[in-house]
Chains A and B, each alone.
Chain A
């Protein structure tokens, strides 16, 4: 795997090797250009800017770690946005994941009309976020929204979902539950690959439904739980559009998430250096969180054929 120049030179002595190398590079050249323009240069630039005072117009001025210091010690809103974001990662994500697993288990019951149910549960997740946000803005309307109409039947009076700082985040979580379809399908595909003989063997040993779930289904599904968990962490750390459209961060900054704060700093305040520092910090946070999950994986993720 490691590139060695002497091997490389040796390989290039044969004309067919040379031709293959030329063709290979030609075929991947679109991506190579993209790698430099859209990945390598931006990474270097934003890393440099994160140590600069830079408004995007006049040339960047080196200020060392000043941006990071301001961020960590002076920006109260930054901490608020971080706490809001961690709320989504630690509370919304587990709830969403368990809910999608539950739906996948229901779909896996070998019921008649599976494609029909599957379609219904999946469709909300591919609807455009902007349309979904507007629909839920209306559903959560305190006075005329459907949710409060329905709660009225249970004698619950007007709930100010998105205008109450305590309820704004839970409201977004509820909306998120409606859009779990992608994860459900991935779980379902995993459930369908669990070999039937494992369940049969467990039944012979006298295992009930609960035991079968915890001792067969969950271990066999753990690689997929792992995958969904990682994707969920990456996604929730960057939670943006719904808050941008529905609440603009309000009420009282209750839904001011990290990515939204970053967006405001970059595109409204033109604090390019500051927002680059924020972006790098977010990237480090995501890497840190995923690496913790990755490290814990040895203890709970079971790969068939890998032995234990």
Chain B
């Protein structure tokens, strides 16, 4: 029995290590290709590492496209969304959890059911609304929706707010605090971990977003990194080392962000999966 257990654990460990290797190899290939000279890129023999690290690929890639402009566009969109989502979703979640009003639970069912509606159905009319407003080609269609809340994050925050003892609110009301005051001074500080989860997922979602900028941004100078990268692919589809350099630059912040916020991430994912 004992030896069998040992065999299992050795086998399991071995498989885990092999899997991890398989998962790391694409990243390794990405970075290694981004540092290769062209003659080492286009070769039929396998070379894991460039013979000389060609850091110039990065400089050239950044100069090829208006990288800093794309970066600042992306960051503007990301941060505006983070502000919009945390603000609106927490307000709405407060209304759904900390105030008891007639019809609240029925409305909450409506909120949950909107999560079922596919974005494919609403995509075209929403596009036309923004066109009617004259917002095509600006950041507004990519930012404004966040200020009107998102069902999933509202749900997540509402679950969290429900867990905060009601006595805290009651005491504050006796002290003459308004609902807005309770929201700002009591609930928000206590809900920091949940708000952080919302902020993180919002930031990441918009950093990674491709479809939105693809549809709404028409002017080259307004592009985000994701759309800029796709455009670069269309124009220089054989410049693999530069494509890899730019892809590395797009992935790297995500990895860094993950390392700094690992706990929030893992908790958030588990929360969404099990409670969802």
Q: Say if the beta carbon of A241 comes within 8 Å of chain B.
A: yes
State the total of A-B contacts with C-beta under 8 angstroms: 254
Q: Say if the beta carbon of A306 comes within 8 Å of chain B.
A: no
Please state if B101 and A131 are interface contacts (CB–CB under 8 Å).
Answer: no
Q: Say if the beta carbon of A280 comes within 8 Å of chain B.
A: yes
With A27-B95, A128-B226 as contacts: A266 and B124 at CB distance below 8 Å: yes
Q: Say if the beta carbon of B243 comes within 8 Å of chain A.
A: yes
Complex CA distance for A34 and B229, rounded to whole angstroms: 31
Please state if A121 and B19 are interface contacts (CB–CB under 8 Å).
Answer: yes
8 Å CB interface, B240-276 against A: 240, 243-244, 247-248, 250-251, 254-255, 258-259, 262, 265-266, 269-270, 272-274, 276
Complex CA distance for A129 and B101, rounded to whole angstroms: 42
Min distance, Cβ A223 to any Cβ of chain B, angstroms:
8
Q: Say if the beta carbon of A80 comes within 8 Å of chain B.
A: no
Please state if B211 and A240 are interface contacts (CB–CB under 8 Å).
Answer: yes
Q: Which residues of B contact A3 (CB under 8 A)?
A: 103, 106
Q: Number of contact residues on A: which range applies?
A: 35 or more
Q: Which residues of A contact B46 (CB under 8 A)?
A: 146, 149-150, 152
Min distance, Cβ B142 to any Cβ of chain A, angstroms:
13
Q: Say if the beta carbon of A292 comes within 8 Å of chain B.
A: no
Interchain CB contact (< 8 A) of A12 among B12, B102, B226, B244:
B102
Min distance, Cβ B198 to any Cβ of chain A, angstroms:
14
Q: Say if the beta carbon of B118 comes within 8 Å of chain A.
A: yes
Most A C-beta atoms less than 10 A away, residue of B12, B19, B102:
B102
Complex CA distance for A267 and B107, rounded to whole angstroms: 34
Complex CA distance for A12 and B262, rounded to whole angstroms: 47
Q: Say if the beta carbon of A115 comes within 8 Å of chain B.
A: yes
Q: Say if the beta carbon of A124 comes within 8 Å of chain B.
A: yes
Q: Which residues of A contact B250 (CB under 8 A)?
A: 128, 130-131
Please state if B114 and A35 are interface contacts (CB–CB under 8 Å).
Answer: yes
Q: Which residues of A contact B99 (CB under 8 A)?
A: 20, 23-24, 27
Annotate A20-60 by CB proximity to B: 1 below 8 A, 0 otherwise: 11011111101101110111011101100100000010000
Please state if A182 and B269 are interface contacts (CB–CB under 8 Å).
Answer: yes
Q: Say if the beta carbon of B220 comes within 8 Å of chain A.
A: no
With A38-B122, A178-B26, A266-B124 as contacts: A27 and B208 at CB distance below 8 Å: no
Please state if B44 and A209 are interface contacts (CB–CB under 8 Å).
Answer: no
Most B C-beta atoms less than 10 A away, residue of A20, A28, A146, A190:
A28
Q: Which residues of B contact A276 (CB under 8 A)?
A: 124
Min distance, Cβ B87 to any Cβ of chain A, angstroms:
8
Q: Which A residues have a C-beta under 8 Å from some C-beta of B?
A: 1-3, 7-8, 11-12, 17, 20-21, 23-28, 30-31, 33-35, 37-39, 41-43, 45-46, 49, 56, 103, 106-107, 109, 111, 115, 117-124, 126-131, 134-139, 141, 143-144, 146, 149-150, 152, 178, 182, 185-186, 188-190, 193, 209, 224, 227-228, 234, 238, 240-241, 245, 259, 262, 266-267, 272, 275-276, 279-280, 282-283, 286-287
Given A12-B102, A27-B96, A28-B92, 20 more pairs with CB closer than 8 A: A7-B102, A17-B102, A21-B101, A24-B100, A25-B101, A41-B125, A42-B125, A111-B16, A122-B258, A128-B250, A129-B208, A134-B229, A137-B233, A143-B44, A146-B26, A186-B270, A193-B274, A227-B276, A282-B120, A286-B118
Q: Which B residues have a C-beta under 8 Å from some C-beta of A?
A: 8-9, 12-13, 15-16, 19-20, 23-27, 29-30, 33, 41-46, 88, 91-92, 94-96, 99-107, 109-111, 114, 116-126, 128-129, 145, 147-149, 151, 154, 179, 183, 204, 207-208, 210-211, 215, 226, 229-230, 233, 240, 243-244, 247-248, 250-251, 254-255, 258-259, 262, 265-266, 269-270, 272-274, 276
Supply 30 A–B pairs (Cβ within 8 Å), ascending by A: A1-B105, A7-B102, A21-B102, A28-B107, A30-B148, A31-B88, A37-B148, A42-B123, A46-B124, A56-B128, A103-B19, A109-B13, A119-B258, A122-B265, A124-B26, A128-B210, A128-B254, A129-B210, A130-B226, A134-B229, A138-B29, A146-B26, A150-B46, A189-B270, A190-B274, A224-B273, A234-B118, A259-B120, A266-B124, A279-B118
